[in-house]
């Protein structure tokens, strides 16, 4: 798997920004990715040392949208919470300034 396409986007919410104080950062990742692949991708892309990786798979659900209330399936998503070494930071999550 191509490591440059493994991290799809950072997840920037109030909760993920609060976890940034604990050096934990949340990303949406490819569903087929593994923890070692996520670790290597974050280390290469951001130049930090990863201590641990947690993954969460959220199964897609059926929602009814539109005027006719037609059912639509939301996609299955995989998130990864990455803990990095103390004193290091990822610029995407920097809220200062």
pLDDT tens sequence across 30-82: 999 999 999 999 999 999 999 999 999 999 999 999 999 999 999 999 999 99
Per-residue pLDDT tens digits for 61-74? 999 999 999 999 99
Q: Which CATH number fits domain 3-86: 3.30.70.330, 3.40.50.720, 3.40.1350.10, 3.40.50.920?
A: 3.30.70.330
- Whether the full predicted model's pTM is greater than 0.85, yes or no, is yes
How far is residue 32's CA from residue 28's CA, in Å, rounded to a whole number? 12
Greater pLDDT, 2 or 85? 85
- The H or E element containing residue 28 is strand 24-29
Tell me if 3 sits within 8 A of 44, measured CB to CB: yes
Tell me what the pLDDT averaged over the chain comes to: 93
Q: Per-domain residue ranges for the chain?
A: 3-86
- The H or E element containing residue 82 is strand 77-84
């Amino acid at each position: 798997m191509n490591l440059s396409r493994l991290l799809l986007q950072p997840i920037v919410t109030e909760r993920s920004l609060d976890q940034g104080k604990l050096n934990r950062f949340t990303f949406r990742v490819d569903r087929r990715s593994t923890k070692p692949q996520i670790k290597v991708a974050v280390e290469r892309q951001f130049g930090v040392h990863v201590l641990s990786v947690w993954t969460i798979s959220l199964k897609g659900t059926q929602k009814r949208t539109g005027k006719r209330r037609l059912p639509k399936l939301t996609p299955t998503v995989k998130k990864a919470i990455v803990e990095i070494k103390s004193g290091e930071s990822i610029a995407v999550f920097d809220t200062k300034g």
